Amino acid sequence: MMMDNDKLVIGGHEFTSRFILGSGKYSMKLIEAAIKDAGAQIITLAVRRANTREHENILDYIPKGVTLLPNTSGARNAQEAVRIARLARELGCGDFVKVEIMRDSKYLLPDNQETIKATEILANEGFVVMPYMYPDLNTARDLVQAGAAAVMPLASPIGSNKGLATREFIQILIDEIDLPIIVDAGIGRPSQACEAMEMGAAAIMANTALATAGDLPLMASAFRQAIEAGRKAYLSGLGRVLTRGASASDPLTGFLHD
């Protein structure tokens, strides 16, 4: 079975789950559901939230065996992202880092240029760098050159639950970039996660879609199934889908005999 050997490989680390929990809205219940019901093996962690004293340190919430993906949220440029990543390492969060650089407090859109700079510095320092980016092919190529371990394009503005607004551009990244393309931000429904996986995305990161759901564990398991279904469809090779008209069963050129 093709599925048995189907692993997500990021920076030499192997995962069987293709759901990654984002960091925006945290609670014990969310983390539990993400691990138990969505099968998450990677959990993002905002360093700015972990940088706390006694009460409610997020680090205490995360069970052993789960890979921590600290992010650099709060960074407004490459230099700040690098500082936050180093702080994450000091806090004992491991070598993975999701580079997240925003110069916009309204839409929280990533700054691609600064992200490339930070990726290069951190990859050189031995981090497994997973940059969050606006889906742009030139940026993605530069991120590959800079030493990224995956590329994480946004589907639509973070927290918006609006789905694959950037579908065409994510498809280009999937087709052209050899690293895992992990769709991050904006995925609001399991069906959208499924669609991205059918397109060939390597994994899905979500947070708000689960955090704001009525029944958290149920939604978490829906995501798991949707992601698995999408992955299977991708691996099986999707059947032909006609965008317009029908296909004649007898070829129009059947009369040609030379």
Partner 1 sequence: MENQFLVDSKHLSPAALEKKHRLETDPSSRSNHMEYMPGMEIIDSDVCHRVISQMDAYDYSQYTARDVRAALDHETCSIEDFKALLSPAAEPFLEEMAQRARVQTSRHFGNTVYLFTPLYIANYCENYCVYCGFNCYNHINSMKLNMEQIEHEMQVIAQSGMEEILILTGESRAQSDVEYIGQAVKLARKYFRMVGLEIYPVNTGEYRYLHECGADYVTVFQETYDAAKYETLHLYGHKRVWPYRFDAQERALRGGMRGVAFSALLGLSDFRKDALASALHVYYLQRKYPHAEMSLSCPRLRPIINNDKINPLDVGEKQLCQILCAYRIFLPFVGITVSSRESAAFRNGIVKIAATKVSAGVSTGIGDHESKYTGRQDDAAKGDEQFEIADERSFEAMYKDMSGEGLQPVLNDYVYV
Binding site for partner 1 (CB under 8 A): 24-27, 46-49, 51-56, 74-76, 79-80, 83-84, 87, 102-108, 159-161, 208, 211-212
Minimum CB distance to partner 1, residue 48 (Å): 4
Of residues 94 and 157, the one with the C-beta less far from partner 1? 157
Helix axes 190-199, 167-176, angle to 10 degrees: 40
Alpha helices in the chain (DSSP H): 28-36, 47-50, 58-61, 78-90, 112-124, 137-146, 167-176, 190-199, 208-211, 216-236
Shortest Cβ 81–partner 1 spacing (Å)? 9
Give 132-185 as a DSSP string: EE---HHHHHHHHHHT-S-BEEBSSSTT-----TTHHHHHHHHHH-SS-BEEES
Q: How far is the CB of 230 from partner 1 (least distance, A)?
A: 25
The answer to whether the CB of 255 falls within 8 A of the CB of 26 is no
Catalytic entry in 98, 106, 117, 232: 98
- 29 belongs to the catalytic site: no
Question: Which tokens hold the place of 150?
Answer: 């995956």
Half-sphere exposure (CA, 13 Å, Cβ side) for 189?
Answer: 6
Residue nearer to partner 1 on the CB measure, 188 or 230: 188
CA angle 167, 18, 171 (to 5 degrees): 20
Query: Among residues 46 and 201, whose Cβ is nearest to partner 1?
Result: 46
**35 touches 63 (CB < 8 A):** yes
Q: State the Cα–Cα distance between residues 129 and 69, nearest whole angstrom.
A: 10
* 75/227 with CB nearer partner 1: 75
31 vs 150 by CB, closer to partner 1: 31
Distance of CA 21 to the CA centre of its chain: 9
d(CA 137, CA 132) in angstroms, rounded, equals 13
Minimum CB distance to partner 1, residue 103 (Å) = 4
Nearest-approach distance from CB 142 to partner 1, in angstroms:
22
List the catalytic residues. Answer: 98
